[in-house]
Structure 1
Amino acid sequence: MHLNPSHVLARLQRVVRDRIRPRLHTPVADVTVTAWRVDGDGEPVPVARALEADYTPFAIGDTWAPAWGTTWLRIEGRVPDTGLPVELVLDLGWFDHSVGGHAEGLAYRPDGVPVKALHPRNGWVRLTGPGAAPGLVAEDRTFVVYVEAAANPLLLGLPPFVETTWGEKPGPGEPEPYRLVSAQLCAFDPDVFDLLRDLEATGDLLPHLDTDEPRYWRVLTAVESALDAPTTGQARAALAGALAQPAHASAHTMTAIGHAHIDSAWLWPLRETRRKVARTLTNVLTLMETDPDLVYAMSSAQQFAWVQEDHPELFERVKQKVAEGRIVPVGGMWVESDAMMPGGESLVRQISMGKRYFRETFGHESEVVWLPDSFGYSGAWPQIARRAGYRWFLTQKISWNDTTTFPHHTFAWEGIDGSRIFTHFPPADTYAAEVTPAELKHAVRNFRDKAISGRSLLLYGYGDGGGGPNREMAARAHRFRDLEGTARVELGSPEEFFAAAEAEMGDHAPVWAGELYLELHRGTLTSQIAMKQGNRRAEALLRTVEYLAAVAAVRDGVAYPYDELEKAWQTVLLHQFHDILPGSSISWVHREARATYDALLDDLTGLVPGGGAPGRVSGWQVVRDVTPVAPVGNVLDNGILRAEIGDNGHVVSLVDLRDGRQLNVGDLGVLRLFRDEPVRWDAWDLDRHVFRNERALPVASVEISDISIKSTTKTEESRFVVTYSLTPGSAQLDITVDVDWQETEHLLKLSIPVGVRTLRARYETQYGALDRPTHENTLADEAQYEVCSHRFVHVGEPGLGVGVVNDSTYGCDVRRIPGGTDIRPTLLRAPRFPDPDTDRGRHTFRFAVVAGDETATRAAADDLNAPRLDGLADTEPLIELGLESGAAVIDWIKLADDRSGDVIVRIHESRGGRATARPHASFPATVTETDLLERPESPANGDGLILGPYQITTLRFSPIKER
């Protein structure tokens, strides 16, 4: 038999499309549809309200809901006896792409219990036969199904990332409403379904086989024979031999895990994510009814908690599957947070609150950090993870690098303190695979550790907007379990994969030291600055409130506000999600977040014990504000620093009077405006070409007041005021920048050129600092042209150090210039997508230029970020840290999560060296060292703490009660 491969493949596509797939669902009966458009603004309503609503006739072709609105459909009919499973098949007006990115539906029984979700690749509800939704069909074979249809606009279907107002509700220029395309009862033919999957497994495999090998021609022959076969059964028999050939002994093994990476907010608001999670879980549970091998991994305690609150019946089914090991809670975090910008304590609370929820709700503790989609990973993560009880770390995003290719897929990741954690990047380069031969082939070809490992992970299921695995994906996974020409696919759990991969590699895992810097999405360090400011201020206020509440509880017996603080933390943690804090969600999300942050800060301030004068808690002591020194002409001088502001409104001279050193090189305090026109991902990306298109903003006027010097700058759209001041006895120049920002596609930086020559700058990160190059010697060095800094950047040379401290920014670049180094924090951006009005409005930023070493810079960062409160009583520190050598700090003081009244103190070495310290409590107590989850590890050393570089130590002080 002569075979023309291109002819066979073309014939296969035509036969499947026109002759086989149409036989999968055969219409057998019509249904009656009525509808209720949710009143008012179309926001979701409780199921009980929808069940009681007045439904009106609704016909095929009718439109439903405006953008972001909700319409309920009531579908009823009688199921005929066909001898085959019968399914209700719906098309709500879908596009055959962007699953989870536009219209979706959730089907309910008449008693309000959700049974099945609907999306473009899963638009059916089984009424009879194996896996049928229980309780839908009555004894007389009549049924009633309610469908909650969500009219989410197709933002991803726009021409790639253009300006849109559809991210608000209501918005001008709404897209056309959706139309009900079809609704009917169909007989489902499982034999046709299996034939389709057999043809996929063989036909889709052919392009990935070597045409010089017998395997290619035998598969091609089998496909041609199947297409010739007159019946479904004969066609499947023709393919059986090709599908029975086992994989090679050395074939790569992929552990396939059902998954749906659901963004807690992105191109939809938080309220929609609650519905997405419920939809996805109903689909997973439905699939598990007919596939006993399916294992599904789901992260984010917050998402489980939403289902627990919104759909208790569904949640009980989920709990049962967790108990069976079929649904695996992974990650152990409250949400899949950003992994760069949250403070150290925030990451600890992401873990402690998430793990506590999983432990108390499911009796389960995850051993793998699960962050596939965050935009870079701080070098503090390995230590935080290991000290919280994790063994493994999973991510995917580093495969998106735009400059260099990461050299490993499985490796030991070493953090800034030397801790190591076994880490894996799935080589399929996706966390939403569909289990196709192309994905499997790419994963095997792409896997960079073949010499020492033959295993990788495959996460399959529709993600981002949810949906999860469907029956087609699961069927493919079974066919690739042991098939010649492709990787072996095993259905399993994350823990099973990691344990096997770690055992296989043994001590041979390559080591990567330092942060996992993502060479992409650098703009997320700045976009939606209100998210950054809200997060930083909430973290700082929580630090103060928890400390003052602990003092009041220990010394005065005042009740500690456990519940209020837990609620506040959950709000902060949710908003650290990796599309909220980074500023890459639609305007609706950020509008709500701004209001939430405002309310949260008010609530937290209300928890501060009353009394006393205005002040702040800095260095664990109450500090009062000091009036800045008065300018003399255009000069600020406090006896330590002398700053001269020129007629151009910039600092033309900054001198350290203690040694006469000139600290600046050129004008300091220049605002630089850059044309910022991303190539692809507007809110996400800060491209290289941006830095070639800058202009310094000229100062329009200079004003000298009793306590400061102000310079004012304007563009045609925006206004900028830079204020300089010095306080008595301080070695820092304070700079405040007030901006009325009305730009589009521009970026704003503050330039602070200092007379320090160095090849590396130190940036604060969680529980320490990172050294990054100031040069561009290698591609990897050059790629770090915008990086994350927490509260400070410090540069130094022998005998001279200068730090720049901020109160709310994260994006920054530090580059070498003639005679020194230019430190340039990024203040604002103005991307068009997904929020065309990003950051329009007024903003205030505070900075300080600190003359001194890193310890002085860190102290200034503590002080600048400490929230000013109206009333604070003087108090002695509850815990003090006596340093005997090196550098170490107390990072956090609170009461224990178990509500025992014990005091928890988080300490870490702060300079990357070694330290010896002795903590002292102001109350009698026994001391125990714990892990980050406050579980005891060992009694504290009576001789004091000996800390390694950047080591974190958590101490529990248990008060000794008087008899």
Structure 2
Amino acid sequence: MYHNERHENLYCNRIKQAIDRVELSVIQDSMPLDVTFWNTGKPIEGTSFDDRLGGKYQPIKEGDTWGQRWDLAWFHITGTVPEAYAGKQIQLWINITTEGCVYHPDGKVEQHIGFSSIWDARAKRPYVPLTKTAVAGDPIDFWLEGSVAGYFGVTPLDDVKCKDIDRSDPTRFGERDGKVEKIRLAVFNDAAWQLTIDMKLLLSLYEGLHEDSVRRAKIFKALQDCCDILGSNPNNFQEARDSLKPIMSLTTSASEMDVFAVGHAHIDTGWLWPVREGRRKCVRTFANQIKLINDYPGYIFGASQPQHYQFVKDDQPELYERIKQAVKDGKWELQGGMWVESDCNIPSGESLVRQFIHGKNFFMDEFGKDVTNLWIPDVFGYSAALPQIMHLAGVDTFLTQKISWNQFNTFPYNTFFWQGIDGTQILTHFPPEDTYNSDMTPGSLIGSQQRFKEKAVASKIMSLFGVGDGGGGPRPDHIERALRMKDLEGCPRVQFNTAEKFFESLHDIKNDLPKWVGELYLEYHRGTLTTQALVKKQNRQLEHRLREMEIISTCVGVDSYPIAEFDALWKTLLLNHFHDIIPGSSINNVYQVTHQEHADMLARLDAMQADASPKLLTADSNSVVYFNSLSHAWAGVVTLPEGWASATCDGQEITTQSEDDHIVAQVSIDPLSSIQLIKAADTTAIASVDQLVLENDLVKYTFNKDGQLVSAYDKQADIEALREPGNVMSLYNDRPTAYDAWDIDAYHRTEYVGSTTVQSIKLETGPVRHVLTITATIGEMSTITQKITLSHATKCLDFDTTVNWAEQHKLLKVAFPTSINAPEASCDIQYGYLKRP
């Protein structure tokens, strides 16, 4: 058919240009509609459908700008079907350069619209089908909510990865305008549209097959014949389609794999948009998929995250009822047992348990369904404690694809058993397409089949197809391609099905599957363990405070236990465990809300504790009670109330000392117990010491004038624990190649900038503890204050470090080079520990 690669490229380009020309004919005719709009003046928050009539509307035409970044507006679209469109298939044709949602006048949601993404120009959804047989004179009356945020927020169009944008620059976090490009009534040519799908599908199949394949050569010939027909008559779409039927009717071989195609729309609750915009994305996407389920019998869509369903239930109850019916009819699959697709490294074990409690209970209460899979395709690594937690939650299967993002090493399996720290094994699948936004094309599925590592024993793989994050999920063309690939020679067999059925289909080969033991570590996004430190700090405080308050409330009495309040508090915390919020990989707008929610929760827990205290304790200005909520004994230092000088416990004087403007005391408390301290008169003042040595009967720590720990001597073991000075602060350039707030690339070690300059260092000692205070500067403008303490009954040296950070594109690290020669370290994880090299 062709003589060399250049000859082949010539005719391939001919095919692509023919497809482009046919696509231009999909819209046969169009006419502008009458449009008025109202910019709500409430960026991000917006105005509900019911409140839309309170605005001041003004006319707007194609070419006009209607908003700037994060603005929301309502559009009223009206018109009449003209005589020329009678009997034809008509659609709304909308391009407002951003996302939007179309509503009927009665408030019923119709569908999402959108026009491309800065990451994927193919992610278009500009058409709203109305009828296949238009009636002249029929009215057109719709409402459109528009949001000035693309599928990826308001990310700048140019590459700003390596640019230092001034912090006062209003476009620092991105810039975008909303503009009316098209709001029209259009005549839709279904034959032309179907032909583009046929031609693109065959071209993808051609490109995915081996160059010596007979099938490939015949596809190329068929496409050239199709181009010949279109060349003779550009509008002869049906004849062109008919010419391709013989090549598309050939069936696949028995050796091809079976693809379980699951309609999917990965929606990040918050990321490059605030959560308020994320909940609008849920409405738009779910509306799309309900419509497609009705248009395509047999198509199945699936969605995880009960929090998203709660958003839709609250915001669009009529749409929510349609979803419930679709679940009942088996056309919509509930996926994932967690409340949100949570980060799995930072939250505590109790938080992971609560994800399952609230997630599974929601699906059971609302839909009567027990969801038994964990569905988190985009999380930054998976704790080895998860299999045990999953098993105890009644979850026995797991899906992700994120590990395919590994920076260096390729994970060895796709379908396997994942074993956790207690020996629990979970049936796991990594879809070999290595994406959760599959295009559902032959080329993609052929590549998936080739990459699948268990093909010798397994014949089934999963494909998660559709455009996520505001793309609205699968489009009609995705589904049309899947239907054509049900049994098409040269590519795997495609069937619409559920994740549940996929995992059930693996039971016969379970004994042949490999096993992976330990954590599923992602070699990427390492910076998310420290980015946005305040969010992580408040999260840990809340995890502890919630547990403590539940214990206190139980002590007050079961009858008055605030179940509903705890439910709301936990759900807010769990929402902020979403895998782009707590890791620190979201935009500033997200954290403004998260910080406030955390602060409100801490304040509410303070109020709950203040309310409970009089029910458990008798007020006495001369005594104070300390409660140990831990499950083990605790010994340490507490701060006494203001105005106290010393204290006794059970009639015995306890050790206290004066530090700055407060008094500290050394106490010991049994697990889940309390002690009462009585106010006393005397205390010992802390004294300054010249030598920078913190020592007790167990250990001896020595610092130098630069604030470095030069010796850590264990008296009991007779071991010097350091081989080089510790507490060494080092500053490096931080310019990862891809994700600025996410990644720490290995080459940062070669871009050392400098260390600290000590401004002051002072050691004070007393009968309770030694206190070393260091103030230092680092970088251009940053300051570091350390309060380092050693109590008299412990080996533990505590560092309380506060950094006033004023650097850009810098990474701060602290080193403690130990003298211990160990091939591995035991690292704390949820409910256990993990050994790492």
The 1:538–1:664 alpha-carbon spacing in structure 2 relative to 1, beyond 3 Å, is same
What residue in structure 2 maps to residue 657 of structure 1? Answer: 715
- Is the contact between residue 168 and residue 587 of structure 1 (CA under 8 Å) also seen in structure 2? no
Please point out which of 772, 775, 792 is paired with 1:728.
792
What residue in structure 1 maps to residue 822 of structure 2? Answer: 758
1:259-408 paired onto structure 2 within 5 Å: 259-408=264-413
- Is the contact between residue 113 and residue 313 of structure 1 (CA under 8 Å) also seen in structure 2? yes
- Is the contact between residue 714 and residue 721 of structure 2 (CA under 8 Å) also seen in structure 1? yes
What residue in structure 2 maps to residue 193 of structure 1? Answer: 193
What residue in structure 2 maps to residue 109 of structure 1? Answer: 104
What residue in structure 2 maps to residue 931 of structure 1? Answer: none
For 1:506 and 1:729, the matched residues in 2 are separated by 54
SS in 2 for 1:579: coil
What residue in structure 2 maps to residue 30 of structure 1? Answer: 32
Displacement of 1:168: 11
- Is the contact between residue 201 and residue 480 of structure 1 (CA under 8 Å) also seen in structure 2? no
Does 1:639 find its partner at 2:697? yes
- Is the contact between residue 266 and residue 579 of structure 1 (CA under 8 Å) also seen in structure 2? yes
Structure 1 unmatched ranges of 5 or more: 94-102, 131-136, 774-963
For 1:214 and 1:176, the matched residues in 2 are separated by 49
What residue in structure 1 maps to residue 12 of structure 2? Answer: 9
Q: CA offsets, 1:141-160, max 9 Å, x none? A: 11211111100154164316
SS in 1 for 2:449: helix
What residue in structure 2 maps to residue 84 of structure 1? Answer: 88
The 1:227–1:297 alpha-carbon spacing in structure 2 relative to 1, beyond 3 Å, is same
Displacement of 1:5: 4.1
What residue in structure 2 maps to residue 148 of structure 1? Answer: 145
For 2:576 and 2:729, the matched residues in 1 are separated by 30
What residue in structure 2 maps to residue 581 of structure 1? Answer: 582
For 1:166 and 1:11, the matched residues in 2 are separated by 48
1:487-886 paired onto structure 2 within 5 Å: 487-503=492-508, 505-553=509-557, 559-608=560-609, 609-610=612-613, 611=617, 613=624, 615-620=626-631, 625=638, 627=665, 632-633=689-690, 634-694=692-752, 695-705=754-764, 708-715=771-778, 716-773=780-837
Q: CA offsets, 1:778-816, max 9 Å, x none? A: xxxxxxxxxxxxxxxxxxxxxxxxxxxxxxxxxxxxxxx
Q: CA offsets, 1:179-214, max 9 Å, x none? A: 211121111222222212111221221122234333
Structure 2 unmatched ranges of 5 or more: 116-123, 618-622, 639-663, 667-685
What residue in structure 2 maps to residue 854 of structure 1? Answer: none
Displacement of 1:661: 3.3
- Is the contact between residue 90 and residue 187 of structure 2 (CA under 8 Å) also seen in structure 1? yes
Query: Structure 1 counterpart of 2:777, which letter?
Result: K
For 2:137 and 2:86, the matched residues in 1 are separated by 15
Displacement of 1:17: 1.1
What residue in structure 2 maps to residue 961 of structure 1? Answer: none
- Is the contact between residue 92 and residue 129 of structure 2 (CA under 8 Å) also seen in structure 1? yes
Query: Structure 2 counterpart of 1:755, which letter?
Result: S
For 1:261 and 1:685, the matched residues in 2 are separated by 22
Displacement of 1:234: 1.5
- Is the contact between residue 51 and residue 112 of structure 1 (CA under 8 Å) also seen in structure 2? no
For 2:348 and 2:273, the matched residues in 1 are separated by 26
- Is the contact between residue 414 and residue 431 of structure 2 (CA under 8 Å) also seen in structure 1? yes
| TM-score, normalised with respect to structure 1 | 0.75
For 1:462 and 1:43, the matched residues in 2 are separated by 25
Q: CA offsets, 1:517-561, max 9 Å, x none? A: 1111111111111121121111111121112222222xxx56112
Query: Structure 2 counterpart of 1:272, which letter?
Result: E
1:130-169 paired onto structure 2 within 5 Å: 141-152=138-149, 154-155=154-155, 157-159=157-159, 161=161
For 1:682 and 1:7, the matched residues in 2 are separated by 41
Query: Structure 1 counterpart of 2:109, which letter?
Result: P
The 1:728–1:127 alpha-carbon spacing in structure 2 relative to 1, beyond 3 Å, is same
Displacement of 1:649: 2.0
For 2:254 and 2:169, the matched residues in 1 are separated by 57
- Is the contact between residue 422 and residue 502 of structure 1 (CA under 8 Å) also seen in structure 2? no
The 1:48–1:167 alpha-carbon spacing in structure 2 relative to 1, beyond 3 Å, is farther
Q: CA offsets, 1:715-747, max 9 Å, x none? A: 231111122212232231121111111111112
Displacement of 1:642: 2.7
Does 1:124 find its partner at 2:127? yes
Which range is displaced more, 509-518 or 660-669? 660-669
Query: Structure 2 counterpart of 1:34, which letter?
Result: T
What residue in structure 2 maps to residue 870 of structure 1? Answer: none
The 1:174–1:462 alpha-carbon spacing in structure 2 relative to 1, beyond 3 Å, is closer
- Is the contact between residue 528 and residue 583 of structure 1 (CA under 8 Å) also seen in structure 2? yes
The 1:726–1:490 alpha-carbon spacing in structure 2 relative to 1, beyond 3 Å, is same
1:395-434 paired onto structure 2 within 5 Å: 395-434=400-439
Displacement of 1:679: 1.2
What residue in structure 2 maps to residue 59 of structure 1? Answer: 61
Which range is displaced more, 731-740 or 602-611? 602-611
The 1:659–1:196 alpha-carbon spacing in structure 2 relative to 1, beyond 3 Å, is closer
- Is the contact between residue 44 and residue 276 of structure 2 (CA under 8 Å) also seen in structure 1? no
The 1:639–1:212 alpha-carbon spacing in structure 2 relative to 1, beyond 3 Å, is closer
Q: CA offsets, 1:353-402, max 9 Å, x none? A: 00000000011121211010000111111111111111211000100111
Which range is displaced more, 474-483 or 83-92? 83-92
What residue in structure 2 maps to residue 778 of structure 1? Answer: none
The 1:208–1:67 alpha-carbon spacing in structure 2 relative to 1, beyond 3 Å, is same
1:922-941 paired onto structure 2 within 5 Å: none
The 1:168–1:485 alpha-carbon spacing in structure 2 relative to 1, beyond 3 Å, is farther
For 1:489 and 1:164, the matched residues in 2 are separated by 47
For 1:281 and 1:724, the matched residues in 2 are separated by 53
For 2:169 and 2:574, the matched residues in 1 are separated by 25
Measured on the aligned residues, the alpha-carbon RMSD in Å equals 2.4
- Is the contact between residue 148 and residue 176 of structure 2 (CA under 8 Å) also seen in structure 1? no
Query: Structure 1 counterpart of 2:205, which letter?
Result: L
For 2:174 and 2:13, the matched residues in 1 are separated by 40
- Is the contact between residue 27 and residue 184 of structure 1 (CA under 8 Å) also seen in structure 2? no
What residue in structure 1 maps to residue 258 of structure 2? Answer: 253
Query: Structure 2 counterpart of 1:650, which letter?
Result: Q
Query: Structure 1 counterpart of 2:773, which letter?
Result: K
For 2:380 and 2:163, the matched residues in 1 are separated by 23
For 2:531 and 2:687, the matched residues in 1 are separated by 36
Which range is displaced more, 491-500 or 209-218? 209-218
Query: Structure 1 counterpart of 2:706, which letter?
Result: N
Displacement of 1:675: 2.0
For 2:813 and 2:318, the matched residues in 1 are separated by 52
For 1:247 and 1:456, the matched residues in 2 are separated by 16
- Is the contact between residue 528 and residue 582 of structure 1 (CA under 8 Å) also seen in structure 2? yes
For 1:40 and 1:213, the matched residues in 2 are separated by 58
For 1:479 and 1:78, the matched residues in 2 are separated by 36
What residue in structure 1 maps to residue 218 of structure 2? Answer: 218
For 1:197 and 1:172, the matched residues in 2 are separated by 40
